[in-house]
Structure 1
Amino acid sequence: MSARCDGSTTSEDTGSGYLPIADHGVIGDLRTAAVIGIDGRIDWFCCPRFDSPSVFGSLLDAEKGGSWTVEQLDGDVTTRQFYLPDSNVLVTRFMSDDGVAEVQDLMPIARPHDPDHRTRIVRRFTCIRGDVRFRVRMSPRFDYGRAEHTLDLSGAGTLVFSTDGLDLHVASETEWEKVDDGDAETTFTLTTGECTTIVAAPEPISDDCYGHDSDPAVISATVAFWQQWISQSTYTGRWREMVHRSALTLKLLTHEPTGAVVSAVTTGLPEDIGGERNWDYRYVWIRDTAFTLYALLRLGFLDEAASFMEWLTCRFDNHADNDGDDDDAVDIGPLRLMYTLDGDPPPEETVLDHWEGYRGSSPVVIGNAAAGQLQLDIYGELVDSVYLYNKYGPGISYESWSQLCEVAGWLVDNWDQPDRSIWEVRSEPQDYVFSRLMSWVALERMIRMTRQRGLPGDIAGWMRARDEIFAQIMDRGWNDELGAFVQTLDSDRLDASLLLIPAVKLLAPTDDRFQSTLRAFEKDLVSDTLVFRYDTSDGHDGLDGSEGTFSLCTFWYVEALTRSGRLADARLALEKMFTHANHLGLYTEQIGLTGEQLGNLPQAFTHLSLISAAINLDRRLGD
């Protein structure tokens, strides 16, 4: 099948075996997630957690990655997808002259923090009209395709794929047969009103369990879970559908047992087709989660913020080791920039050289070497989010405040040094202005919290360092010739991260220096409202190749226009950006110059910045 721009497919041959990245939806159970193509294939699923090795991975190798495919056999078939309203239950519609059928895909969730929760994928097939014949094939490839498996077909309608350390149990009302490579296949016909369900789980599926999962009530219960959650949102303004889809996506990226939030559910999807900028985003970035906390707080979701605060408190108790990725060990500070869901360092970066990568984009990388980098900006994003939690939530505990004071003390002594900053470059550390900006934010917010709540703290020391940072940004972070703030001290390179200057209140949005910077960005980094994060043409970031426009930066641009009073321009830019969402309202990390989505999906950074941009612009536009 091939994709149409409206989010549908036809039975034409795709050629490469890869759907466009945008032609996917995601389901999940707050433990892990499955990525489902618009043709019904599950081509990415890690089990039992977001960061576990993949069971289905054809998203990164069409031949060797493994998949769970669904094919309507008769007629010229067109497919479309949508989420059931205000939920993460995905429906794929198969339409032909012979009939119309739907596949409802979900990972059941009964209630929040369910002690009896079990991870399962439920696929319910329903014939809406006519007669439809389906062929379903299960081709798991455990451990990123590195582990052999066996297949047990001994039970009627049941099968078990087994490998060392993990089994995949399948239950259905249909009969299966073994096919090549230890795969299993079933073919069945449904007439109007008939249904059948296939359930897969990493543990045995009892008859009672299967009966429950195959019952329509499990779909209703899961839809109700998501709808009840989103009903807590306080946002009632314009673009409610886009904002709530983004909120549901951020919730989907949350690991409920720990309160952590992963940055995406995939690894290795390219920022440039055929290029090397392919990273593993299935970890917990302090920066991304802090921004997520900010976005959810804006919508009134305090429970998620509290869960993250609890997770974060544990990280303070387990300070990062000085294990930088340079030959000379670097003090990476009291916090790492990223962790696993359990709060451990991510695994060493490894290349899966037996996989070709999405459309030949290699290397396919698991783990993330950036975990050993010093990135000073994370402290500003973190403290700013804690400040908002303290302001709009129940307030931080004394223990957390004491830990933050230690962080602030470390930052006072360490802000003025080279680092890798927000974009996690693979070149040598430099004196990034954005890192100075967010260090200023960290200390300024600590001062605010001390004064507002009467909390103890080294206000005098924080103020001295804050003012030194401000002076350095104004003196050496500003380029008179360009008329703009620049990426690193005393340089001439622009960086879209500095669009946040008015948002974090370093300067007023109407300040001449910021307005001049905004004009410089529009000249060199903005392409028809889409924004590049910086110029990659000379490889100064330590990587070859180019990349698309950065969706996070585009939403930051919308906010900068809003704060500058250019509301018509902001609204146009936001509406244009909405056209780059996929058919389900999901975003990846980047948008190519021809409008294709690039990078891992769904990208937390993009969705949280959408929420912030929409809320701020809606408020300025008024009723």
Structure 2
Amino acid sequence: MTETVTRETAISEHGIIGDLQTAALVTTDGSIDWFCWPRFDSPAVFGALLDDEVGGHFRIHPAGTSYTCKQMYLPDTAVLVTRFFSEAGLGQVVDFMPPAGDTATDRHRIVRIVQCVRGRMTFEVDVAPRFDYGRHPHRLEVTDNGVAFVAGSQRLTLHIVREPEDERLADVRAEDSNLLGTLSLVAGQTRGVVLESDADGPPREVRLREVQALLDETIAYWRSWVARSTYTGRWREDVNRSAITLKLMTYAPSGGIVAAPTAALPEQIGGERNWDYRYTWVRDASFSVHALLKLGMTDEAARFGTWLGDRIRERLASDSGPLNIMYRIDGSSDLKEDVLDHWRGYRGSAPVRIGNGAAEQLQLDIYGEALDSVYAGVRAGLPLPHQGWTATSRVLDWLAENWDQPEEGIWETRGGREPFTYGRVMCWVAFDRGIRMALEHGRPASVDRWRAERDRIYQQVMERGFHPTRRAFVQHYNTDVLDSSLLRMPTVGFVDGRDPLWLSTLTAMDDELVTDSLVYRYDPDASPDGLRGSEGTFSLCTFAYVDALTRAGRLNEARTAFEKMLTYGNHVGLYSEEIALTGEQIGNFPQAFTHLALIDAAVTLDAALDGRSPR
């Protein structure tokens, strides 16, 4: 993909690198314009994605010449290569973060290997960190081997990668609070820089053999991980890239999975739907685990199961009622929503929100998603320990008393509580999976009570959730509005994919929510959600539509819709939350919801095309 050089880079013009504790976004022009340190949910150090003037950046690109750019991943890895083409030569920057391990640490490394492949190239290096979203000033400590950026107790150190014979290749200078430099190379030369947080000492001289060893180890890690996938279907490259992306959004020390590594990217350019997604949603993480389980990835399910079990036991110990819908990646619950008034936002989309005020909403569907992923893990061979089962039983006993009440629903609307149909369906799933585990594994449980509540939910949804005039299941019992969250009804087994009630629902959605295979969540004009403005089509729902078409036996339409949706992925196969009318990607990026749904749709459709029954 060719890129015209610009400082306001489109959301889709990024790749992602990460070390399983935090992540960075790299533009097709070689700029790191989003990086939070030391964790996904920590303040940004580089935030030019949301405000190029005050957000901070780390740029490496050719100096003083016109050029075009292309970007790729090394196959089956999270190692990103940005290539620069000019009349003077061909150069590239190889970006990666060595995995940081399972113990929480402030030490993270961004390795940027700079190479001249053909001709001659001079690269400009521009490092401008802005600590704590630009609210904390810093000073520079410059040495012959690099520079340290110091803000109070926080310290970022830039080491120069070089060999003894070429010390004059690098020209580095401080300007205000930034580091500027040039790196002149001829064909075959390789140099670079390493940005390290919480380094043990001052900037040091780094040799090529050291960064090459880090690169080799990082490539080996990712290829070994991807090799565990059992998926061998038609869309293997897309599925593998989505799996790697989900893994990159996993916080290894806790097993929590963030919904996205970014904050405040708008669902409508210039609008107010700008949310912080750098947290672990029970729903999103459960979906992610379920998708990875379909690929044979059980370790992630086990780690998330531990994370989820800890949250359940904390709530039960304090007798504080239901689970929060989201938490920080370490399981803490302080997600107070605030606004960065000094940031202009992506393309002027303000407010720039950090934290998330929806954290304590009542969303009953999360219990179904959580229990569905636990059940899938148990079926895949993961243990069902006594302590975990006891906590699960107590949650279901609580749900038996509380499922039949209004709630905020899956989309976190701010327009008040309603008896959402999807929430009821997922409560049915929670009881159904709990009953199955109890019976299949001989666990003590209030099975008769759970069965009675499960059946009550089923009858209630069939009587009140299906609108006779619309001939469709609707968003909640007090409306006739359609809602594409209900596309998951056949996926979870609440209805058969060819049931007449479901087929008429799918037809109604075809007419109202689907536009050239892309799917809206709902019509906000018909169902006020407490927010101004509109939004694009929701990519999770588009892939869920593919799954629903498949289960309805409409395979040709399903395959066409799937292939169309793949054209909206960016140049390296990444997806944000939504697609605008212009076809551009909008919303937080990359989005776990979208990538897990791609995996789900690919697995289901592939099985159906091969004549196998979708699970």
Q: TM-score range by the shorter chain?
A: over 0.9
Is contact 1:332–1:372 with CA below 8 Å preserved after alignment?
Answer: no
Query: Shift of the alpha carbon at 1:310?
Result: 1.3
Q: Quick check: 1:581 aligned with 2:569?
A: yes
Q: Select 1:59's aligned residue among 18, 39, 49.
A: 49
Structure 2 Cα separation of the partners of residues 475 and 312 of structure 1? 33
Structure-to-structure mapping, 1:5-20, within 5 angstroms = 7-11=1-5, 14=6, 17-20=7-10
Structure 1 Cα separation of the partners of residues 510 and 567 of structure 2? 20
Q: Quick check: 1:125 aligned with 2:114?
A: yes
Q: Select 1:152's aligned residue among 141, 151, 175.
A: 141
Structure 1 Cα separation of the partners of residues 422 and 104 of structure 2? 43
- AA paired with 2:79? V
Q: Quick check: 1:97 aligned with 2:95?
A: no
Structure-to-structure mapping, 1:283-322, within 5 angstroms = 283-319=279-315
Give the TM-score taking structure 2 as reference length: 0.95
> CA, structure 1 residues 159+519, in 2 after alignment: closer, same or farther (shift >3 Å)?
same
**Partner secondary structure for residue 243 of structure 1:** helix
Structure-to-structure mapping, 1:106-185, within 5 angstroms = 106-109=96-99, 113=102, 118-153=107-142, 155-172=143-160, 173=162, 174-180=170-176, 182-185=177-180
**Partner secondary structure for residue 125 of structure 1:** strand
Structure 2 Cα separation of the partners of residues 498 and 300 of structure 1? 27
Q: Select 2:589's aligned residue among 597, 601, 604.
A: 601
Query: Shift of the alpha carbon at 1:167?
Result: 1.1
Structure 2 Cα separation of the partners of residues 140 and 539 of structure 1? 43
Structure 2 Cα separation of the partners of residues 554 and 119 of structure 1? 36
Q: Select 1:442's aligned residue among 430, 441, 464.
A: 430
Instruction: Please name the residue that 2:165 is paired with.
Output: none
Is contact 1:29–1:109 with CA below 8 Å preserved after alignment?
Answer: yes
Is contact 1:152–1:161 with CA below 8 Å preserved after alignment?
Answer: yes
Q: Quick check: 1:44 aligned with 2:34?
A: yes
Q: Quick check: 1:190 aligned with 2:178?
A: no
Is contact 1:109–1:117 with CA below 8 Å preserved after alignment?
Answer: no
**Partner secondary structure for residue 457 of structure 2:** helix
Instruction: Please name the residue that 1:244 is paired with.
Output: 240
Q: Which moved further from structure 2: 122-131 or 303-312?
A: 303-312
Instruction: Please name the residue that 1:536 is paired with.
Output: 524
Is contact 2:38–2:106 with CA below 8 Å preserved after alignment?
Answer: no
Structure 2 Cα separation of the partners of residues 59 and 281 of structure 1? 15
Query: Shift of the alpha carbon at 1:76?
Result: 2.3
Q: Select 1:520's aligned residue among 504, 508, 516.
A: 508
Structure 2 Cα separation of the partners of residues 320 and 20 of structure 1? 45
Number of aligned residue pairs: 602
Is contact 1:558–1:574 with CA below 8 Å preserved after alignment?
Answer: yes
Q: Which moved further from structure 2: 312-321 or 549-558?
A: 312-321
> Deviations along 1:5-38, whole A, 9 cap, x unmatched?
xx32134xx3xx3111000000000010011100
Query: Shift of the alpha carbon at 1:199?
Result: 0.6
Is contact 1:82–1:90 with CA below 8 Å preserved after alignment?
Answer: yes
Q: Quick check: 1:546 aligned with 2:534?
A: yes
> CA, structure 1 residues 128+376, in 2 after alignment: closer, same or farther (shift >3 Å)?
same
Structure-to-structure mapping, 1:344-359, within 5 angstroms = 344-359=332-347
**Partner secondary structure for residue 319 of structure 1:** helix
Instruction: Please name the residue that 2:406 is paired with.
Output: 418
Structure-to-structure mapping, 1:123-522, within 5 angstroms = 123-153=112-142, 155-172=143-160, 173=162, 174-180=170-176, 182-204=177-199, 210-211=206-207, 214-319=210-315, 333-522=321-510
Structure 2 Cα separation of the partners of residues 578 and 205 of structure 1? 44
Query: Shift of the alpha carbon at 1:221?
Result: 1.1
Instruction: Please name the residue that 2:166 is paired with.
Output: none
> CA, structure 1 residues 333+593, in 2 after alignment: closer, same or farther (shift >3 Å)?
farther
Unaligned runs of 5+ in 2: 163-169
- AA paired with 2:453? A
> CA, structure 1 residues 473+213, in 2 after alignment: closer, same or farther (shift >3 Å)?
farther
Query: Shift of the alpha carbon at 1:485?
Result: 0.5
Structure 2 Cα separation of the partners of residues 197 and 214 of structure 1? 12
Query: Shift of the alpha carbon at 1:117?
Result: 9.6
Structure 1 Cα separation of the partners of residues 604 and 492 of structure 2? 13
Q: Which moved further from structure 2: 38-47 or 389-398?
A: 389-398
Structure 2 Cα separation of the partners of residues 332 and 372 of structure 1? 12
- AA paired with 2:196? A
Structure 1 Cα separation of the partners of residues 192 and 446 of structure 2? 62
Is contact 1:509–1:564 with CA below 8 Å preserved after alignment?
Answer: yes
Query: Shift of the alpha carbon at 1:334?
Result: 3.1
Is contact 1:47–1:55 with CA below 8 Å preserved after alignment?
Answer: yes
Query: Shift of the alpha carbon at 1:70?
Result: 1.8
Query: Shift of the alpha carbon at 1:316?
Result: 1.7
Is contact 1:171–1:200 with CA below 8 Å preserved after alignment?
Answer: yes
Q: Select 1:572's aligned residue among 522, 543, 560.
A: 560
Structure 2 Cα separation of the partners of residues 534 and 527 of structure 1? 12
Query: Shift of the alpha carbon at 1:333?
Result: 3.6
Structure 2 Cα separation of the partners of residues 315 and 405 of structure 1? 14
Q: CA RMSD in A?
A: 1.8
Structure 2 Cα separation of the partners of residues 248 and 280 of structure 1? 22
**Partner secondary structure for residue 404 of structure 1:** helix
Structure 2 Cα separation of the partners of residues 347 and 250 of structure 1? 22
Structure 2 Cα separation of the partners of residues 332 and 353 of structure 1? 34
Structure 1 Cα separation of the partners of residues 534 and 103 of structure 2? 45
Structure 1 Cα separation of the partners of residues 99 and 207 of structure 2? 16
Is contact 1:338–1:346 with CA below 8 Å preserved after alignment?
Answer: no
Structure 2 Cα separation of the partners of residues 321 and 351 of structure 1? 33
Structure 2 Cα separation of the partners of residues 313 and 598 of structure 1? 34
- AA paired with 1:486? V
> CA, structure 1 residues 465+148, in 2 after alignment: closer, same or farther (shift >3 Å)?
same
Is contact 2:38–2:107 with CA below 8 Å preserved after alignment?
Answer: no
Structure 2 Cα separation of the partners of residues 594 and 554 of structure 1? 17
